[in-house]
Amino acid sequence: MADLLQESVLVLNASMIAVDTCTVRRAILDILRNIAIPVKETPELVRSEHLALPVPRIIAQRNCYKIPRYDQKTSKINIIYRDDQTCAYCGNRFAVSELTVDHVIPRSRWKKTMGDHPPYDFNSWWNLVTACRRCNSLKANRLLQEIGWKLRKKPEKPRQTGLIIARNRAEDLGWLEYCSVNVQLIEAV
Ligand SMILES: [Zn+2]
C-alpha cells in the first residue's frame, strides 16, 4: 500500500497537456479536494477506513491551463540526458548508473586556461559533459589537447523541452497517448 501511494501519476493541465508528474498519494488528495479529475485509473483500489478509490495513473487539473517553464538545472542527470547517455569521449552509450559528469576544463586548470573573464562558468552546460568511468579516470586532470582527445559534440544548453520522461516508464504506466505534446521521451537504458 505504501509503495502504491508512491507510484507516479501523470498530471495534465485543463487543456489535457502533460505538465508534471506526482505521486499517487498527491493525485488522490487533489481528486478528493476537487482540484483534479481522474483521467485514467487502474482496477486496483486504494483503501482507507472510509473510502476505496481506484488508483489513478493520469489526472487532469480542473482549472489550470498553464504550461510551466522548464528551465533545466545543470544536474548530473540532466547532463546525462542531454548527452543521450553517451560518453563525450569514447562515444559509447551506457546505463545512467555507469556514467559520470566530467568537467571538460578541470578545476585545477580553469583559471589559467580561461583567464579572468571566462565566457561561461566552470559548473555550466558548456563545461560539463557525460563521461564513462573509464574515460573520466583516463582523462583525470588534463586538458583534451594534452592527450589528443576531442569532444564529439560541442556541449550546449539544451533548449526547453518540456517534461522529460523515460519511454519505458510511460509505456508501463499507460501515459503514452498524452506524451506527444510538451513531453520529451527519452530511451533510458
Ligand atoms: Zn567513454
The rounded average pLDDT for each run of 10 residues, N- to C-terminus, in the chain (189 residues) is 87 96 96 96 88 94 90 87 94 95 97 94 97 97 96 88 87 96 83
Nearest Cα to Cα of residue 70 among 82, 53, 62: 82
Residue 2 has a pLDDT of 63
Tell me the one-letter amino acid at 31: I
Residue range(s) occupied by CATH 1.10.30.50 in the chain? 76-147
Cα(90) to centroid of ligand 1, in Å? 4
Cα(95) to centroid of ligand 1, in Å? 12
Residue 47 has a pLDDT of 87
At 139, list the grid cell.
582523462
Residue 70 has a pLDDT of 76
Q: How far is CA 71 from CA 42, 58, 88, 159, 160, in A?
A: 32, 24, 23, 9, 7
Cα(135) to centroid of ligand 1, in Å? 4
- Ion ligand 1: residues, CB within 5 A, are 87, 89-90, 132, 135
DSSP 3-state helix, strand, coil percentages of the chain (rounded to 5)? 30, 30, 45
Architecture of domain 76-147 in this structure: Orthogonal Bundle (1.10)
Residue 114 has a pLDDT of 95
Tell me the one-letter amino acid at 166: A
Q: Look up the pTM and report it.
A: 0.70
Cα(10) to centroid of ligand 1, in Å? 34
Cα(83) to centroid of ligand 1, in Å? 12
Residue 189 has a pLDDT of 64
Cα(78) to centroid of ligand 1, in Å? 18
Cα(167) to centroid of ligand 1, in Å? 24
The span from the CA of 127 to the CA of 156, in Å, is: 9
Cα(145) to centroid of ligand 1, in Å? 17
Tell me the one-letter amino acid at 56: P
Cα(114) to centroid of ligand 1, in Å? 25
- Contact 12/58 with Cβ under 8 angstroms? yes
Residues contacting 105, CB < 8 A, separation 6+: 113, 114, 122, 127, 143
Cα(102) to centroid of ligand 1, in Å? 11
Residue 69 has a pLDDT of 79
Cα(133) to centroid of ligand 1, in Å? 7
- Contact 38/92 with Cβ under 8 angstroms? no
